[in-house]
Structure 1
Amino acid sequence: MRYSNLGLNEDSENPLYLQLADKLRQAIIRGEVTDGERLPSIRGLSHALQVNPATVVSAYRILEQEGWVRSRPGSGVYAKHKKSLFDIGTDLSYNHFKDEKIADLAAGTPSPDLFPVGQFKEIVLEVLDRDGGWAFEYQHSAGWETFRQTLTRYVKETVHISADPSAIWVVSGAQQGIDLTAKALLHSGDQVIVEHPTYRGALGAFWSRGADTISIELNPNGMDMDILEARLEQTRPRLLYMQSRFQTPTTYSWGKVELYRLLELAERYDFYILEDDLLSDLYFDAVPDPLNIKSVDQQNRVIYVRGFSKVLLPGLRLGMLIIPPKLQGLYEQAKQSSDIATDGFLQRAVDLYLQRDYHKNRMEELRRQYQLLYFQTVRAVEQYLEPLGCSFYRCNGGLHLWLGLPRGVKSAELYTKALERGLRIMPGEAFNDPSHIRLSFACIEPDNIEAAINKLALCLQASSI
């Protein structure tokens, strides 16, 4: 295999080490790297790809955690084939799939048709006219001060968090916020508690630092707090990673009692909570109470990360962290060793967008649109899939459903059959759970939902024969 041909995209929001891990995993799955074959040395592969050796180290660590390679001290890293339903021979990305012949129930971000292109174009031109060349100057590692002040108002009004501008750090997307947390807080051998199932990009960030992850099964009210406390008695983790509202992929939201007890345990056992807030404000009925765990954090135990790609433009490499004061020095070191500072022009553009309150109308529009899509999807699932033995949780928010499959049906096999019939779904293997699929209504027209779900039912019936 010519490793120099592995195409890594430096402009992607997905970090290079995750891209490299994905490329190598697929090469092993496809047989391009044989079982037991020695992979290139860290120095050799970093030279071939023109990347930092740390990128290769991180990718190899992730693959070893997943069981795709094994390290032999003093000898190297060797491929390890395994039978896995993750092997579906295609890309498991969260991106939109632009093909009129394919009904897309896999995309994880809103439809491009809903993007505020006109408003953003107007703002970009206004920033250029107003600031000229100064719009492109380098910013402080924490972000442009004016934008951080605007974000203080934004988080108060939107997600009910009171934060001083000094606590808010601008990052190059939510994934970088997770990466910086791993880099700032974790060392080899540290332990991180995570929900199961959970977001693969977060696991990759923790494993890239040599940390061990401890998974605790998620239920509709969060983790079982007695099980969590028993684990805390056995080990002292550095971090707990969570999504408190409309979790990916389960769609569960933590209960109020569980959130307050989690804060109490964090203080008692001295660990930090990394809250990844994807879509807490995309609710379809009453406002959740509390909207997130950071809003009720009185002891500065919660590190809060939020991206803007779900409410502005996908691929927009901009996000924010709210960092406890005592950790800010560690984050500054991590940020400066990553990209020094986030794009200043983009900060100015989004700052103006938020100051104009354009985001408020956009969220109202998204809630209306996705509430309609949610209920249409639920009705179709009830009509076509529940009679076949499928199950799901009625979440009343977010962008997808987490569909439990009938006994004996594996999601990777269903994915293949669905794609053959012109339907794209997200198999549970992407979240290490082959008994489920993620059905997204983020990027499908309302008129196409019933036909798409009916098509999925036909695929299920074919899988059961």
Structure 2
Amino acid sequence: MIMTFHFSKRVPADGTDAVGAILKAAADPKVISFAGGLPAPELFPVEGMKKATDKVYEEHGREALQYGAAAGVTELRQLILKRVAEKEGVHANLENVMVTTGSEQAIDLVGKAFVNPGDTVLVEDPTYLCALDVFRSYGAKFVGVPMDEDGMRMDALEDALKAHPEAKLVYTVPNFQNPTGRTMPADRRKKFAELAAKYDVPVLEDNPYGDIRFAGQHVPSVKSFDKTGHVFYMSTFSKILAPGFRLGWLVADPEVVKKLTVLKQSADLHTDNLVQYVVAEFFKENDVDAHVKEISALYGKRKQLMVEGLQKYFPKSVKYTNPEGGMFLWVTVPGVDDTVALFKECLKHNVAFVPGDPFFAGKPQPGTFRLNYSNMAEDKIQVGLKQLGAALDEALNK
């Protein structure tokens, strides 16, 4: 008898992976793909990491290769605390910070700790699609909070909190948001922290892109305005060092960190010890801020080329965001009802993007899609946008 598999409700019922299928199609070498969210590999600090790794083996080899604490290597946690204090105005203690296997694990652990089947989670609309996938796997019901060009609207958030007092969590990406590239101003962040306290709801502030700023001024984190412990702040080394390290972290109330650490132990015991030691050593021996400036300069150049291409090749009715940092911008094409069908048409022109549909908690906004500029050579940006513009003209004039 052939085995019948009875999967849990966490597995998508139809067994499909729409985004995976899109990215697979976009991986065709003939296709100029703006679909991924990959950092530029030419800026990975390979030589510096090799030196740091050698030194770790010499000085901490046995500890690095042994089992470790679920909360993370102490030296790295201290480095994170110093960095968030200097960069984000978040002042905490060792008991407030834990290391995770990529920031994706931080989202998963928070979902596991706070979301029961049927619970309400408030999110920006649109928002990071993998966060939706994680919370959905724990049975969350979503309420999308409207955005404008300055990110999540605080009046809309308060309306949502009043209408849904049962909400268990609010998830936000306030810096160079994925997928829109928008950044929330300081006054909204202050109000955000106040609303979290007023309505007694935890906020997961996800900041993977905040260091990659190439225009405008730094904005303090939502967590920096938090006086009550309602805001959990998370970030990653993926965008400034190497995504393959799978190294993220979370700063939160000690009670929350303690619970999440227990959950992490049952998931993977602890994050890779060697990688933690290597990153701590790399920070000692290198000017990481100078490295981040180099990344920011390259992404800023590529974003500007993309904006110029949009202006030159896209129909005049098309709208798009113009981010001050990060890796993405968001396009809206009036008159297009089915962006997935548009994606398939664009593939015929050998150019790809990520359709907007999977980024929405509820009903998708027609004609939206995300473009990535961080991982595309400058000469291909113009060529790709010319091809994409031709595909849009063709779709709109059918």
TM-score w.r.t. the length of structure 2 is 0.91
Amino acid at match of 1:397: G
Q: CA deviation at 1:431?
A: 1.7
1:411 alignment partner in structure 2: 339
Change (3 A) 1:116 1:193: same
Q: CA deviation at 1:355?
A: 2.2
| 1:25-424 equivalences in 2 (<5 Å) | 40-42=5-7, 56-59=8-11, 63=12, 69=13, 91-93=21-23, 97=27, 99=29, 101-236=30-165, 237-290=167-220, 292-387=221-316, 389-408=317-336, 410-424=338-352
Distance (Å, rounded) in 1 between the aligned partners of 2:70 and 2:130? 23
Q: Between the two structures, name the one with larger relative contact order (CA 8 Å, sep ≥ 6).
A: 2
Change (3 A) 1:160 1:362: farther
Distance (Å, rounded) in 2 between the aligned partners of 1:360 and 1:96? 33
Amino acid at match of 1:145: T
**2:26–2:352 Cα contact (<8 Å) kept:** no
Distance (Å, rounded) in 2 between the aligned partners of 1:307 and 1:96? 26
Give identity over the alignment, percent. 29
Q: CA deviation at 1:298?
A: 2.1
| 1:444-459 equivalences in 2 (<5 Å) | 444-459=376-391
Amino acid at match of 1:395: P
Q: CA deviation at 1:306?
A: 0.8
Change (3 A) 1:215 1:455: same
TM-score w.r.t. the length of structure 1 is 0.79
Q: Secondary structure at the match of 1:454?
A: helix
Change (3 A) 1:448 1:306: same
**2:306–2:373 Cα contact (<8 Å) kept:** yes
Distance (Å, rounded) in 1 between the aligned partners of 2:153 and 2:74? 41
What RMSD over aligned residues (CA atoms) do the two structures have, in Å? 2.4
Q: CA deviation at 1:436?
A: 0.9
Q: Secondary structure at the match of 1:178?
A: helix
**1:154–1:354 Cα contact (<8 Å) kept:** no
**1:303–1:321 Cα contact (<8 Å) kept:** yes
Change (3 A) 1:457 1:436: same
Q: CA deviation at 1:404?
A: 0.6
Distance (Å, rounded) in 1 between the aligned partners of 2:335 and 2:63? 60
Amino acid at match of 2:5: P
Distance (Å, rounded) in 2 between the aligned partners of 1:294 and 1:452? 39
Amino acid at match of 1:440: N
Q: CA deviation at 1:130?
A: 1.9
**Gaps (5+ residues) in structure 1?**
5-38, 43-55, 64-68, 70-78
Question: In the TM superposition, what whole-angstrom CA distance separates every residue of 1:100-130 from its partner, at most 9, and x where no partner exists?
Answer: x322212212121221112112211221122
Amino acid at match of 1:137: Q
**Gaps (5+ residues) in structure 2?**
none
Distance (Å, rounded) in 1 between the aligned partners of 2:258 and 2:299? 40
**2:147–2:153 Cα contact (<8 Å) kept:** yes
2:369 alignment partner in structure 1: 437
Q: CA deviation at 1:98?
A: 7.4
Question: In the TM superposition, what whole-angstrom CA distance separates every residue of 1:385-429 from its partner, at most 9, and x where no partner exists?
Answer: 142x21112222111210111313532122212222221211213
Question: In the TM superposition, what whole-angstrom CA distance separates every residue of 1:53-72 from its partner, at most 9, and x where no partner exists?
Answer: xxx3422xxx3xxxxx4xxx
